[in-house]
A and B are shown apart, each in its own frame.
Chain A
Amino acid sequence: MVPGLKISESATAESDREPEDGGVSSFRFKLAVLRYGGIVYRVAQLLLGDRHEAEDVSQETFLRYWQHGKGVERPKEWLLAVTRNACLDRLRRARPLVSTDASTDETLGPSEDRDPLWHAEQAELGGRLREHIARLPEPQRSLVILFDVNGVDGASCARILGLSTNQVKVYLHRARRRLRRALEESS
């Protein structure tokens, strides 16, 4: 379980009765999947660098929420903390997978109205950036993924990672400096 995370869900219907076995109700579960399925997957995908592993971790995370999510007051933080722990466990077991997954290049889809050269540059930059993020030490890597990539606020990052807000600022500063230097060196 994730220590120190109390989760509050405002959108709890009165009729949404929770089961008594520690699991979350199906209403809350579906709500969580629809609201946080994307961010859980993205965080896992960036931490692991592999789409299929990220899907597996997302499934594991939501299964745990289904079984043990009762009383969770901040589902987003709880889910992200569980996701991160699951990813780090996998990374400890097998060597870090620096993104070699070609499918991750979908992230830079040609949604913006720019020329192909720009898209190629951005795809290349994105690829390098993923490699550099994967080489960051913890908790810098998780912080960059949560705060800079996925826009999770500082206070939530602090609770997810068990850090103080000052530590969050310091680690973020260090991580960004490392990334900037790494990008300069690799370009």
Chain B
Amino acid sequence: MTDLDSRWAWSKVEAMADGSLSRDEKRRMRAVLEREPELSAAVARARTLRRALRRLGKAPVPRSLHARLLKIPAQSGDRSRAKTEVWSWTSATAAASAMVAALVLLTQPEPADDPRAAALRDFELAMTYLHRSYEIAGGHLKRTLERELKEAFRVNTGSGANDADTENGG
């Protein structure tokens, strides 16, 4: 063991105590510890200190503290906050009222208009209905045609295959 090892080991007492040394460093440290009882005692003291400090951190918190802290918002009586809350409630109420008013206006029955406009609406409705019917009927027709064609094709191919089988078998 060299003097350099000893000096290095003394600089690593705390690291040895808190377990932050690498594996190689620990091996090196153990070699020095075997030869230097003073160093060994220093490491033991460092470990004792570390444990005692950690134990201080486990101090119980008074049970009433959390309850007391959680009451702060209710007890703070912050005027600006109270004012903000009043304003936010007021604006929320105003927004809700505006929405209700808009809904009432929109759902009111339209005033009777001239017969031409009514006829136009009826025509648009009829055209929409017709268009939709065409889509449905067209789709139905298309699907039926596809099904029929597939069936015909399958039958045709099947008969062809049967013919081929017959040819092979014969």
Residue ranges of A at the interface with B (Cβ–Cβ < 8 Å): 19-21, 23, 26, 29-30, 33-34, 37-38, 41-42, 45-46, 51, 55, 58-59, 62-63, 66-67, 104, 106-109, 122, 125-126, 129-130, 133, 144, 148-151, 173, 176, 179-180, 183-184
Tell me the interface secondary structure of chain B in the complex.
helix
Binding site for A on B (CB under 8 A): 14, 42, 45-46, 48-50, 52-62, 65-66, 68-70, 72-73, 76, 78, 80-81, 84-85
Chain B residues in 8 Å Cβ range of A59: 68-69, 72
Q: Are B52 and A21 in contact (CB under 8 A)?
A: no
Q: Is the interface of A mostly helix, strand, loop or mixed?
A: helix
| Contact status B69-A62, CB under 8 Å | yes
Complex contact B55–A122 (CB within 8 A): yes
The one of A62, A109, A129, A180 that contacts B56, using a Cβ cutoff of 8 Å: A129
Of B53, B65, B78, the residue contacting A67 (CB under 8 A) is B78
CB distance from B6 to the nearest CB of A (A): 18
Inter-chain CA distance A16–B73, complex, in Å, is: 15
Would you give the shortest CB distance from B64 to chain A, in whole angstroms?
8
On chain A, the residues within 8 Å of B66 by CB distance are: 33-34, 37
30 contacting pairs across A/B (C-beta < 8 A): A19-B81, A19-B85, A21-B80, A21-B81, A29-B73, A30-B70, A33-B70, A38-B61, A41-B61, A41-B62, A45-B59, A55-B62, A55-B65, A55-B68, A58-B65, A58-B69, A59-B68, A66-B73, A107-B60, A125-B52, A126-B52, A126-B56, A133-B56, A148-B50, A149-B53, A179-B49, A180-B42, A180-B46, A180-B49, A183-B49
